[in-house]
Amino acid sequence: MTGNTPPLDGLRVIEFGQFVAAPSVGRILADFGADVVKVEAPSGDPLRGWGASIKDSSSWWWRMQARGKRLVAIDHNDPKGRQISLELAKKCDVLVSNLRPGRMESWGLGYTDVSAANPAIVYANISGFGATGPYRMRPGFGNIAEAMGGIRYVTGFPDRPPVRTGLSVGDELAALQAVIGILVALRRREADPDHRGEFVDVALNESVLAITEGLIPEYANAGIVQERTGNQLLRSAPSNIYPTSDNRWVAISANSTKTFVSLAKAMNRPELADDPRLMTNSGRVAAADELDEAIASWSVQHDHDSLLRLLEGAQIPSGPVMSAKDLYEDPQLAARKMIRRTYTRSGESVEMLDVVPKLATSPGAIRWAGGEIGEDTESVLAEYLGMPQHEVKKLRDLGVIR
Q: What percentage of the chain exceeds 90 in pLDDT?
A: 96
Q: Specify the pLDDT at position 85.
A: 98
Pair 268, 299: CB distance under 8 Å = no
Q: Specify the pLDDT at position 306.
A: 98
Please, what is the end-to-end C-alpha distance for the chain in angstroms? 32
Taking only the tens place, the pLDDT of each residue in 261-283 is 999 999 999 999 999 999 999 99
**Nearest residue to 225 (alpha-carbon basis) of 150, 300, 163, 167:** 150
**DSSP labels for 28-68?**
HHHHTT-EEEEEE-TT--GGGGSS-BSTTS-BHHHHHHTTT
**Nearest residue to 266 (alpha-carbon basis) of 279, 251, 254:** 254
Distance between CA 388 and CA 343 in Å, rounded? 29
Summarize the confidence of residues 284-302 as an average pLDDT. 97
Provide the pLDDT confidence category of residue 3 given band limits of 50, 70 and 90.
Answer: low
Helix or strand run (H / E) with residue 318: strand 318-320
Taking only the tens place, the pLDDT of each residue in 200-213 is 999 999 999 999 99
* Catalytic residue (choose from 31, 75, 171, 292): 171
Catalytic: 303?
A: no
Summarize the confidence of residues 64-84 as an average pLDDT. 98
Summarize the confidence of residues 226-240 as an average pLDDT. 94
Go through the domains of the chain in sequence order and give each one's CATH number: 12-211+334-398 (3.40.50.10540), 239-243+249-320 (3.30.1540.10)
Residue 296 pLDDT > 50: yes
Q: Specify the pLDDT at position 1.
A: 41
Task: List, in sequence order, every residue forming a beta bridge with 198; answer none if it has no partner.
Answer: 122
Distance between CA 93 and CA 183 in Å, rounded? 11
Provide the pLDDT confidence category of residue 4 given band limits of 50, 70 and 90.
Answer: confident
pTM: predicted TM-score of the whole model, two decimal places: 0.95
Q: Specify the pLDDT at position 197.
A: 97
Q: Specify the pLDDT at position 2.
A: 47
Distance between CA 349 and CA 54 in Å, rounded? 11
